[in-house]
Amino acid sequence: MLLAIDTGNTNTLFAIHNGTDWVVEWRIATNAARTADEYAVWFHQLMEMQGLKFTDVTGCIIASVVPQSLFNMRNLARRHLNVEPMIVGEGDLDLGTKALIDNPEQAGADRLVNVVGALTRYKAPLIIVDSGTATTFDVVDEDGNFIGGIITPGINLSVRALHEAAARLPRIEIRRPSKVVGTNTVESMQSGIFWGYIGLIDGLVNRIKQERSDLKFTVIGTGGIASLFEGASDTIEHYDSRLTIDGLFEIYRRNGGAKR
């Protein structure tokens, strides 16, 4: 079985693939100070709950945007699972896509993995909207290459900023409000956050389309809270919560780690 680890700025996803499909997924808050041994205790307990053992894991692939966490993830794979992990961004991995930007080494591992995952199911050119700690817009040309994008603060950062910067504004639940014009503080904030982000997403996607009118894009939404926007955005055509882990599996397969 393959263990895929996606370390984001807020959460880290562990997913097990049995060669045919994803068996189980777990999330834990990203903490750069958490040691490999601490991860092992947590992971062992969850594996046992699913009737799995460490020895069931025969391969591991890791994508991380938190360099400090990578050391401990690598040690988890080596010391506790007895496998040498494949690291996205290290070595001469065949990703199946190229970063055609000013400084290709600056392309985040998560963004490239999303591109790979999207290309397994959707025809390029693509716009991938990933709603996480940051909301990113990744643009993929007709040849399946990452040609640039947009980075904006994520919706949770905006909620936190409102609460922390304005003494009388509470921390609110992110949800789709029943009406646009709120009649109390919480409703007004929820409307501003939700519809503000819908406006941001649709506005930026449309600007990308205007700037690259030579390309006929398919637009995909992914990330932790992307499903919240389903049915509200006019520009997102598909919602795919497994884009990242599917990309990790495809990279592992392309580099001789698994058969599809």
- Residue 208 one-letter amino acid: I
Q: How far apart are CA 9 and CA 134, in angstroms?
A: 9
Q: How far apart are CA 43 and CA 189, in angstroms?
A: 38
Across the beta sheet with 22-29, the strand order is 22-29, 11-17, 2-7, 59-64, 86-87
Q: Report whether 155 contacts 133 (CB < 8 A).
A: no
DSSP H helices, 151-238, are 155-165, 185-211
Q: How far apart are CA 61 and CA 249, in angstroms?
A: 8
Q: Is 110 a catalytic residue?
A: yes
Q: Which of 110, 130, 202, 240 is catalytic?
A: 110
- Indicate which residues carry an active-site annotation: 110
